[in-house]
Amino acid sequence: MLTKLIDLCLENRWAVILLTVVMAWVGVHSFTELEMDAFPDTTPIQVQVNTVAPALGPLEVERQVTFPIEQTLSGLPGLVEMRSVSRFGFSQIVVIFERDMDIFTARQVTSEKLADVMLPGGSYQPTLGPLATGLGEVFQYIVKSDTLTPMELRTLHHWVIRPQMLQVPGVAEINTWGGFEKEYHVVIDPNRLYKYQLSLDDVARVVERASRNVGGASIDNAGESVLVAGLGLATTIEDLESTVVAMEHGTPVLLRDVAEVKIGHQIRRGAATADGEGEAILGLGFMLMGENSREVAQALETRLREVQKTIPDTVELKPVYNRTDLVDTVLETVRNNLLAGALLVVAILFMFLGNIRAGLIVALAIPLSLLFAAHAMLKFGIAGSLMSLGAIDFGLVVDSSVIMVENSERRLAEGDSRSVTQIVRDASIEVRKPTLFGELIITVVYLPILFLEGVEGELFRPMALTVIFALVGSMILSVTLVPVLASLLLKKRQHLKEPWLIRGLKRLYRPALAFAIDYRNRVILLAFACVFSAGAIGLNLGTEFVPQLREQALVINTVRIAGVSLEESVNYGTEIEKLLLREFPDEIAHIWTRTGTAEVATDPMGLEVSDVFITLHPRENWTKAKTQDELTAAMNGVMEGLPGMRSIFSQPIELRVAEMMAGIRTDVGVKVFGDDLEQLATSAEDVVAILESIPGAADVSMEQLTGQSVLAIKVDRVAAGRLGVQTSEVLDFIQTLGGIKAAELVEGEQVFDVVIRLDTELVPSADQVAKLLVPTASGARVPLSALAEITMEEGPSAINREWAERRVIVQANVRGRDLGGFVNELDSRLQELELPPGYYTRIDGEYRNLERAQKRLFFVIPVAFLLVFMLLFITYGRLADTLRVFTGVPFAAVGGVLALWLRDLPFSISAAVGFIALSGVAVLGDMVLVSRIRDELAHGKELLDAVKSAAETRLRPVLMTALVAALGFLPMALNTGIGAEVQRPLATVLVGGMLTSTVATLLVLPLLYIGMYRGPQS
């Protein structure tokens, strides 16, 4: 079939060229339409369920809100994991589904289940979080003003700025962090209530019914239908103050007679500061799942500039984080790698072929294969990223074309009297099988990568598909366009003189091969000794999941003592910003702090927890560090002296993805499960001690459990009954300390809550709460202490649960050693930990991904090797030749392992993928050489002469295929730009593996052929 295809192309050469031009045009169009991103989204399919329970403490939120919702959601289809956190006034449940479930289906089944949940009247109904992933937070901006108050800025953002930003296509949510959410407070004066013999319930009922609009259907008026509308919704403070509460001797008692109506703010659960200048409003743009982060972030920045023109001049909108910056930087790394790789490959082609026309023919396969891959990527919905376009090795792409053109050029120099077309045809047919099967083998070894699961599957599947697309394009070109161009551009040349480089290499190679043949037993023994030695080194390399991608931004997660006030956290955050700006002015571009929880709680934190975000200047401008690791260490050193705080360093995307996947913000987390919070805290402290004693542990911290002061007011039912006070009346009175929503007030299109609450000036401290006077049935008033037992207790600041079990996380980063070795030591130490019955630990975090990936690789790697072996056997039809060629795989692995060891790189999933790819690439040279030896023997040469002749004849194509493959990956291995970290182990393995594989092909394979040959000697 291939012969017929080559004949057809050579008979219709200009038609083939025309079709190639059309294909190239389609590829260019596809490339311009291709979405570009930094890397694939690896976050799981998950749904957040958020519920606001105003003024409830963590224990009551857990009991009244979290637990009922967990029980309702526990039977969802495809459910993989369920986590929850209960904090002051808030509950969040994260429901994680199987990766193959559609996100809209997941949200639908969750919503249907939530319809059955019955919660206390004081809680809002559960709502779903934004339709976004862990990578969805693509844009952040600060709203600042020297003239407007934080409340006015937040109101401006919520009602003017946010609606315009939400109009950007692909935006899931614009979240607000910080400021004061405006409310109208009806501040009750208990003394005035007593004067008019009114209760809190009387006032609440009147306010609720007085501020509303109603419909009266319609009436007919002379044949015309007229709608009836009753308008009583309050629009000003005066409207509320004029509300009649009761009648006193025929005189109306108005709301202003018993309460003061004024502007207030909602209970704050979070704040934001920026640039060491105090509080600001932070806007966060979330991208819809499935959208392109680069395009959405660019559109949000453009819209922000447009919004700036529509608001007062005294308000400044300043972008501080734009995902486009990271994407563009990573794509620049990809572009540099591809360009450098292409130039190196082309240089090798010209040097080895010594013919500009031949070099151009082979080099043309690079852009054409890339365009073919781009068109396929567009059709399959694969974005151009670090893990797709960035993984293409142009050396692999040109391998088949190299062999085709080199053989054609050599045959044209043999003095054959036939036409150029006939000679090129025969030369192409002569090598079509090994070249095609060589490309096919490389393609096939990438197929098992498609079966990786979880995060590693999401990361490396685009890479495998893109390489497969490029290789398929290369295979098509090698049997269609390349023979056509060779027949048109190459000429007959008598006594063709080889390039000086090849002549020099042959002069070195002949004695080396002769020496190896003379001492073949020792050479073979040495070769296999190298294989076993490399295996021993490989077992001690250490392991990690995937190298960290440097995001050109940092996040410092700071944790203070539980129970600290929001104001204190804000002040502390501002001081940290000032300190870091003062110490690192050339490194920090923007710095801002997020404390607590935003309006839409996508990342719920307590008031004692803050995330300090830092975006960095370009690395060439730094003066305090050369690398991001050095900068992190320097900042950590500066912050170590700050009292009453723990800090953990991470990066924006890394932090968010880790937290969404495992609820852990660091590399490793130990989850301690149990029921009693005090025992959990004790056991967790034991785990902290174990972690701190293990070398390599950094940023060791434990989740805050206790330490939150709670003023517990327990109603004395007997005393309350004796005084004629219902328990509900006492609880309502207590609830007004935080406020009870009673109605809404409308200002134009802006709607604000109307909240009834006690005058806080009556309770300047916790001690004064006991003295509050509560009205009784007799009309008298008694202090609250007479109706309830009031004590100051220490309670939990947050309660975390997983699968409806309470748990606490002890977490740590790993620095200076491999992740796998660290976890193995941690696991052995945890086995010695004595825990009470019903309590247990589990290691989680990034290690879980590594563990799952390793199990999958134990299946995937043997499958890749088996596929290579099967294709080799199909190619040669003899077990002996198949085994000879397959020896290239272990010899290549030697170089891969040594390269990782010399560069002090641990064995990661990225390196494992490199070894899988190497198993296909390494046999190319062996196939070329074995095929030539078989041809020489078929033409009657003796075994030794056939081996020497074939080895010398095929020196050029063997070296070319190996060098173009290795040098194509060299820029990836050496690049230090943003994003290069992920590709470095993969490229290192391939470069090192190709070097040892080539040495083995030229010096060991001939010896194995001689030693294993059992056929006739000629």
Q: What is the CATH number of the domain that holds 939?
A: 1.20.1640.10
Tokens representing residue 812 in the block: 């740590």
Residue 1017 pLDDT more than 60?
A: no
How many angstroms separate the CA atoms of 386 and 370, rounded? 15
Angstrom CA distances, 744 to 121, 245, 265, stand at: 17, 17, 14
Question: Which of the listed residues 796, 814, 842 is the one where a domain comes to its end?
Answer: 796
pLDDT at position 300: 95
- Which one is predicted more confidently, 922 or 993? 993
pLDDT at position 988: 92
Based on the fold, state whether residues 490 and 508 are members of the same structural domain: no
Our count of domains for the chain comes to 4
Based on the fold, state whether residues 5 and 53 are members of the same structural domain: no
Based on the fold, state whether residues 908 and 919 are members of the same structural domain: yes
Residue 494 pLDDT more than 60?
A: no
pLDDT at position 513: 87
Instruction: Report yes or no: 882 and 873 within 8 Å, Cβ to Cβ.
Output: yes
pLDDT at position 723: 81
Pairing of strands 750-758, 182-188: parallel
Residue 659 contacts by C-beta under 8 Å, 6 or more apart in sequence?
Answer: 134, 603, 665
- Tell me the per-residue pLDDT of 6-55, one tens digit each, with 9 for 90 and over: 888 888 889 989 999 999 999 999 998 888 888 787 778 889 898 888 77
Q: How far apart are the first and last CA of the chain?
A: 31
Residue 736 pLDDT more than 70?
A: yes
How many angstroms separate the CA atoms of 994 and 958, rounded? 11
pTM for the complete prediction?
A: 0.82
Q: Which amino acid is at 963?
A: L
Please list the alpha-helical segments (H only) found in 640-767: 652-662, 677-692, 717-722, 727-735
Pairing of strands 315-322, 645-650: unpaired
> 842 in a domain, yes or no?
no
Q: Which amino acid is at 440?
A: L
How many angstroms separate the CA atoms of 874 and 872, rounded? 5
How many angstroms separate the CA atoms of 482 and 469, rounded? 18
**Helix-strand-coil percent breakdown of the chain, rounded to 5?**
55, 20, 25
- Tell me the per-residue pLDDT of 362-394, one tens digit each, with 9 for 90 and over: 888 888 999 999 999 998 888 888 888 877 877
Q: Which residue has the tokens 């044209």?
A: 412
> 16 in a domain, yes or no?
yes
What's the gap between Cα 826 and its chain centre? 26
> 651 in a domain, yes or no?
no
**pLDDT > 70 fraction of the chain, expressed in percent and rounded:** 96
Residue 109 pLDDT more than 70?
A: yes
How many angstroms separate the CA atoms of 246 and 606, rounded? 42
Write out the H or E segment, with its range, that includes residue 532: helix 520-539
Give the residue from 889, 898, 838 showing the smallest Cα distance to 867: 889
Based on the fold, state whether residues 945 and 996 are members of the same structural domain: yes
Give the residue from 859, 863, 918 showing the smallest Cα distance to 891: 918
What's the gap between Cα 540 and its chain centre? 29
Pairing of strands 668-673, 697-702: unpaired
How many angstroms separate the CA atoms of 422 and 432, rounded? 15
Q: Which amino acid is at 760?
A: T
Q: To 10 degrees, what angle do helices 500-518 and 943-953 make?
A: 150
- Tell me the per-residue pLDDT of 236-268, one tens digit each, with 9 for 90 and over: 888 888 888 888 877 888 888 888 889 988 888
Q: How confident is residue 663, by pLDDT bands cut at 50, 70 and 90? A: low
Based on the fold, state whether residues 937 and 893 are members of the same structural domain: yes
Q: How confident is residue 496, by pLDDT bands cut at 50, 70 and 90? A: low
797-814: burial string, b at 16+ Cβ within 10 Å, e else: bbbbbbeeebbbbbbbbb
Based on the fold, state whether residues 406 and 482 are members of the same structural domain: yes
**pLDDT > 90 fraction of the chain, expressed in percent and rounded:** 17
374-388, 590-604, 993-1007: least confidently modelled range: 590-604
79-83, 409-413, 607-611, 634-638: least confidently modelled range: 409-413
- Tell me the per-residue pLDDT of 857-890, one tens digit each, with 9 for 90 and over: 888 888 888 888 888 888 777 888 888 888 888 8
Based on the fold, state whether residues 394 and 479 are members of the same structural domain: yes
pLDDT at position 1014: 64
How many angstroms separate the CA atoms of 759 and 748, rounded? 28
pLDDT at position 790: 83
Give the residue from 647, 601, 553 showing the smallest Cα distance to 284: 601
124-134: burial string, b at 16+ Cβ within 10 Å, e else: eebeebbbbbb
Q: Which amino acid is at 878?
A: R
> 722 in a domain, yes or no?
yes
- Tell me the per-residue pLDDT of 67-104, one tens digit each, with 9 for 90 and over: 999 988 988 898 988 999 888 888 899 999 988 888 99
Pairing of strands 270-274, 588-596: antiparallel
Tokens representing residue 1011 in the block: 């030693």
Phi-psi region of 845 (alpha: psi -120 to 50; beta: other; left: phi over 0): left
Q: How confident is residue 409, by pLDDT bands cut at 50, 70 and 90? A: confident
pLDDT at position 744: 86
Average pLDDT over every residue of 656-682: 80
How many angstroms separate the CA atoms of 657 and 667, rounded? 11
Instruction: Report yes or no: 259 and 203 within 8 Å, Cβ to Cβ.
Output: yes
Instruction: Report yes or no: 73 and 115 within 8 Å, Cβ to Cβ.
Output: no
Average pLDDT over every residue of 451-477: 86
Write out the H or E segment, with its range, that includes residue 697: strand 697-702
CA angle 387, 360, 404 (to 5 degrees): 85
**Averaged pLDDT score across all residues of the chain:** 85
> 445 in a domain, yes or no?
yes
Based on the fold, state whether residues 410 and 519 are members of the same structural domain: no
Average pLDDT over every residue of 976-987: 82
pLDDT at position 3: 80
Q: To 10 degrees, what angle do helices 980-999 and 955-974 make?
A: 160
Based on the fold, state whether residues 371 and 449 are members of the same structural domain: yes
Average pLDDT over every residue of 931-954: 83
pLDDT at position 707: 67
Residue 935 pLDDT more than 90?
A: no
Long-range contacts of 621-625 (CB under 8 A, 24+ apart): 621/586, 621/587, 622/586, 622/587, 623/586, 623/587, 624/583, 624/584, 624/586, 624/587, 625/587
Tell the burial category of 141 from Cβ atoms under 10 Å away from its Cβ (0-12, 13-18, 19+). buried
Give the residue from 613, 615, 617, 624 showing the smallest Cα distance to 558: 613
pLDDT at position 887: 84
CATH at residue 67: 3.30.70.1430
Tokens representing residue 916 in the block: 């899988």
Based on the fold, state whether residues 13 and 81 are members of the same structural domain: no
> 524 in a domain, yes or no?
yes
- Which one is predicted more confidently, 119 or 368? 368
Q: Which domain holds residue 114?
A: 42-129
Angstrom CA distances, 733 to 123, 195, 206, 737, stand at: 17, 17, 17, 7
> 439 in a domain, yes or no?
yes
Residue 777 pLDDT more than 70?
A: no
Based on the fold, state whether residues 493 and 505 are members of the same structural domain: no
> 855 in a domain, yes or no?
no
Average pLDDT over every residue of 739-753: 85
Q: Which residue has the tokens 């050479």?
A: 523
pLDDT at position 763: 66
How many angstroms separate the CA atoms of 190 and 975, rounded? 72
Question: Which of the listed residues 129, 154, 182 is the one where a domain comes to its end?
Answer: 129
DSSP per residue, 740-796: EEEEEEEETTEEEEEEEEE-GGG-SSGGGGGG-EEE-TTS-EEEGGGTEEEEEEEEE
Q: Which residue has the tokens 């893109």?
A: 466
- Which one is predicted more confidently, 704 or 18? 18
Q: How confident is residue 759, by pLDDT bands cut at 50, 70 and 90? A: confident
pLDDT at position 105: 92
Tokens representing residue 922 in the block: 């390494």
Write out the H or E segment, with its range, that includes residue 930: helix 923-938
Give the residue from 204, 2, 335, 99 showing the smallest Cα distance to 739: 204
- Tell me the per-residue pLDDT of 793-837, one tens digit each, with 9 for 90 and over: 777 878 889 888 899 988 888 877 777 888 888 988 988 888 889
Residue 580 pLDDT more than 90?
A: yes
Q: To 10 degrees, what angle do helices 923-938 and 955-974 make?
A: 180
Tokens representing residue 420 in the block: 């150029």
CATH at residue 744: 3.30.2090.10
pLDDT at position 163: 93
Give the residue from 134, 154, 137, 136 showing the smallest Cα distance to 145: 154
Based on the fold, state whether residues 46 and 22 are members of the same structural domain: no
Average pLDDT over every residue of 981-1006: 88
Give the residue from 370, 593, 581 showing the smallest Cα distance to 469: 370
Question: Which of the listed residues 440, 466, 497 is the one where a domain comes to its end?
Answer: 497
How many angstroms separate the CA atoms of 346 and 352, rounded? 10
Instruction: Report yes or no: 190 and 777 within 8 Å, Cβ to Cβ.
Output: no
Tokens representing residue 268 in the block: 């704050």
Strand partners, 128: 49
pLDDT at position 765: 67
How many angstroms separate the CA atoms of 383 and 364, rounded? 24
